[in-house]
Structure formats: structure tokens, C-alpha cells
Structure 1
Amino acid sequence: MAELFNTSAPIYLQLCDRIKNKIIRGEIGIGGQLPSVRDLAIDSGVNPNTVQRTYRELEEAGIVEKRRGQGTFVTENQEILQRMRNQLKQQHISGFVREMSEMGYSKSEMVEGLQNYFNKKEEKP
């Protein structure tokens, strides 16, 4: 089944983000194998060249490594994976703060809103 993509960003970058998120969530484990280029292209509804570019980007970042004749695997380098995790966290925080600022919220209102959100979440069993 073809996935939906945002028209404002290149598809290969969106695929990179999706793969990174799967790694962070543990859906693809450390040292785990990624789908073949052909399989991911079919599942995502994109051209195999797009998937190849995605894998190349991830490989250049050190997040995955190709093994000749075996496929593409998530790195086992914990430092690289932790750096990726921190970068994604910062991207999401930056996006949140930017959007809230554009809506006119102050820093203190954002912090208060987050505290209220987490307090309410802790109250629910």
C-alpha cells in the first residue's frame, strides 16, 4: 500500500525520517536489516531510485551500512544512534517552539502548557 507524503519536502528525506523514527521506536533493531530497495519502493509506492537515494543518505550519515550481497543494516554504533536520537528530538522541539511562537505564545506559556500536559498524563491510570 502506497504511503502518503508531504508535498513540501523531498520524498527521500521523508523516507529517511520514517526509517529513523522506526529505529528510535525499536521497530528496526540495532543491527537489524532494512527492507530491500525493491520491497520498500513497492510498500511506499515510490520509484526504487528514491529508495536508493534514501539508503545512500542514511549510509552517509552512518546510520546504516550496506553489506555486499546481504542488504542494508542499522549500524551497531551506539554513539551514532544516540546522536541521531538527539538530533530528531531537537528538530521536533524546534518545530514545536516555532509553531507556538508563530501563534503568539510566550516561552512561559509553552512551559506551563507542557507542565499541565504531563501532569494530566500522570493522573490518568
Structure 2
Amino acid sequence: MEFNNNIPIYIQVIEKIKQEIVTGKLKPGEKMPSSRDYGNNLGINFNTVARVYKEMEMEELLFTRRGLGTFVTESEDRIGQLRYEMAKKQIENFIFNMKQIGYTKKDMIKFIETENYLEGDE
């Protein structure tokens, strides 16, 4: 994984795991690697991974079973909520950036429709 020096590593790892959860790469209830193994895999300190796991537990995206490890949430509702939150953030960023270059709501809709970005998704 390539890291952006402008964003804390733990935040980048959280975003990576969230992406893997909503895309189904990580399945509900799937066991996560140990902090040490995941840290070695990513080339980062295991304490950073422990922080990631703790933060994601607070968001109810991961849970720990003492002596067994850390697991992806089994809640389909929570995963759906995460997917919605991530999509909303993408749309908000898109709208903000399009407004920065002078597009109106009407212009944005026309642009998406005429450029066929949604072709085949209907």
C-alpha cells in the first residue's frame, strides 16, 4: 500500500479497510489479521494497526473476541450505513469540486448525462 504523507497512516488504513468491507472483499464476521501480521503486511508499526482496530471498534465496524482475535462486523445494516456514508462523502466532494470550477447543479446533471458515465448501469 502506498501512503500519502499528508494524511496520517492510521486514517489511510481505516479508509482501506472500510473500502474492503463495503466492496465485500472483507466479509461480515471475517477474522482480521493480528495487529502484528497486518502491520508487517503493510510495512507499518503494529501499534498503528492496533489503533486502527480500536477506532474501527468504536465505529462498530470491527469487534474483538478475547483470545480469538478481531473480526469484521456481522451487521449488514451497519455495512449498508457505511456504504451510504462513503457514497455521500464522494458526492459531496464531487459537488464541491464542480462548484469550484463554476458548474451549477443543472450543469453537473447535464455533464453526467451527456458524458455517458452511467451508461450500462440502468
Aligned AA for 2:82? M
Please report the TM-score for the alignment, with normalisation by the length of structure 2.
0.89
CA distance, structure 2, for counterparts of residue 52 and residue 62 of structure 1: 15
In 2: Cα distance, 1:120 partner to 1:90 partner: 17
Contact 2:39 2:45 (8 Å CA) reproduced: yes
- Matched with 2:2 is 4
What CA distance in whole angstroms lies between the structure 1 residues aligned with 2:44 and 2:118?
Answer: 41
Unaligned runs of 5+ in 1: none
Which residue is 1:29 aligned to? 27
Tell whether 2:64 aligns with 1:66: yes
Task: Name the SS for the 2:25 alignment partner.
Answer: coil
RMSD, matched Cα: 1.8
Residue equivalent to 1:89: 87
Q: Which of 101, 109, 113 lines up with 1:111 in the alignment? A: 109
Within the candidate set 39, 42, 54, 1:41 is matched to 39
CA distance in 1, matches of 2:29, 2:73: 5
Aligned to 1:79: 77
Higher helix share: 1
- Percent sequence identity is 34
Structure 2: gaps of 5 or more residues: none
Question: Shift of the alpha carbon at 1:95?
Answer: 1.1
Cα 1:13–1:101 shift into 2, 3 Å: same
What CA distance in whole angstroms lies between the structure 2 residues aligned with 1:99 and 1:105?
9
DSSP-derived class of the 2:102 partner:
coil
1:65/1:118 CA distance change after superposition, 3 Å: farther
TM-score (normalizing by structure 1):
0.87
| Residues paired across the two proteins, number | 121
Q: Aligned with 2:20: secondary structure?
A: helix
Which piece of structure 1 moves more, 25-34 or 104-113? 104-113
- Judge conservation of contact 2:31–2:72 (CA < 8 Å) in 1: yes
* CA offsets 1:49-95 (integer angstroms, 9 cap, x no match): 11111111100000110111111111111221111111111111111
